[in-house]
Amino acid sequence: MSARNILVINCGSSSIKFALVNEAQETFMLSGLAERLGSPEAVLHWQQGEQKDSLVLPGADHRLALSHLLPVVQQAAAGELHGIGHRVVHGGEHFSGASRLDATSLQAIRQVAPLAPLHNPANLQGIEAAMKLFPELVQVAVFDTAFHQSLPEHAYRYAVPQALYAEHGVRRYGFHGTSHHYVSRQAAQMSDLAYDASSWLVAHLGNGSSTCAVENGHSRDTSMGLTPLEGLVMGTRSGDVDPNLHGHLARTLGWSLERIDSMLNKDSGLLGLSGLSNDMRTLEQAREQGHAGATLAIEVFCYRLAKSLAAMSCALRRLDGLIFTGGIGENSALIRSKTVNHLSLLGLQLDAQANVRCVRGVAGAIHADGHPRVLVVPTNEERQIALDTLALLD
């Protein structure tokens, strides 16, 4: 049987990120982005090999953008498209793995939408549009939360009244599961270890960041919680703060719940600490020039990351290695070095030359001889979504 082609779709409220993945090829056959959907500036961009193209689609919605994308996909796949994999942010407790999309699974995704009000409705828009345009194709939902459904109860429960969990699903879910799954499997292959007999600490670092403890192919703990706000310092998200901060700001400043929520999600993190930017590249340049805010933001980011990784180690019985991935994790030798310096109790130490070498897609080991394994592993969430889709086709 010839290698199969899967179209991977990731829909936001005004965008569609897509990739055409062939199971036998490392690089995407086609990739691109439809952005500013619903506005006069809506546009579809795509790249096939070295060739880049764009199509202006004034006022286009998700369905119209997908209808223009279809001929491009079919041409790139030579008419051989075998399925569509959709990224869905939140699967709640209903989904512990990828799911074939039908009326029942769609209703379950709608039911957990209150847990991800910014993401699941947008994901559903793309799914419903694609199902109307490709009714003959198998379509699969792959959930950011599903990989973390293996967390033990003592790791996912909050110490709040039982009724909030039983009646409203208030618990820790975790996110970035597709990335944590992919890179931990890749790390095992790179290290000649069986995935189902290996243990990893994973740091997925980007504008959104999270850590994860992966044991024998299963997530055992992770830093994000009910929402992606819990855990690490991120680009514009605060990560962990005193739970009573909301009450304090409401009482002392008269802030509304909406204003506090917006501040913690959009004005905090690296941006809030530095007063400059949420982009780590900008902050590293500013730090070199003596910018105090940028310097502080980097120090807090690395310390809080190391603190989280140390906490994640409680979920493992042994450690086969630490993995750095995501835009920052794959490209910032400074962040990796500062973070590992805080983890001397775990015996971690980097090889400075190897650390500097592993940037811009270069994977590899960066630990010093005689010290526990530290790896840089580029993530590929689109490929993992395609693999999960193919597994259901099989």
Give tens-digit pLDDT for 160-206. Answer: 999 999 999 999 999 999 999 999 999 999 999 999 999 999 999 99
Q: Catalogue all structural domains in the chain, each as residue range(s) with its CATH number.
A: 3-142 (3.30.420.40), 193-379 (3.30.420.40)
User: Was 341 annotated as part of a binding site?
Assistant: no
Q: Which one from 102, 144, 240, 261 is the annotated catalytic residue?
A: 144
User: Was 91 annotated as part of a binding site?
Assistant: no
| Residue 60 confidence (pLDDT) above 90 | yes
Phi/psi-derived region of residue 36, left when phi > 0, alpha when psi is between -120 and 50, beta in every other case: left
User: Was 207 annotated as part of a binding site?
Assistant: yes
Contact of 187 with 377, CB cutoff 8 Å: yes
Distance CA 180, CA 55 (A): 34
144 belongs to the catalytic site: yes
pLDDT mean across residues, the chain? 96
The pLDDT score that the predictor gives to residue 1 is 62
Among the ranges given (100-104, 121-125, 280-284, 312-316), the one the predictor scored with the smallest mean pLDDT: 121-125
Instruction: Tell me how many degrees the CA angle 149-150-155 measures, rounded to the nearest 5.
Output: 90
Contact of 315 with 216, CB cutoff 8 Å: no
User: Was 280 annotated as part of a binding site?
Assistant: yes
Distance CA 85, CA 17 (A): 12
**pTM for the whole structure:** 0.94
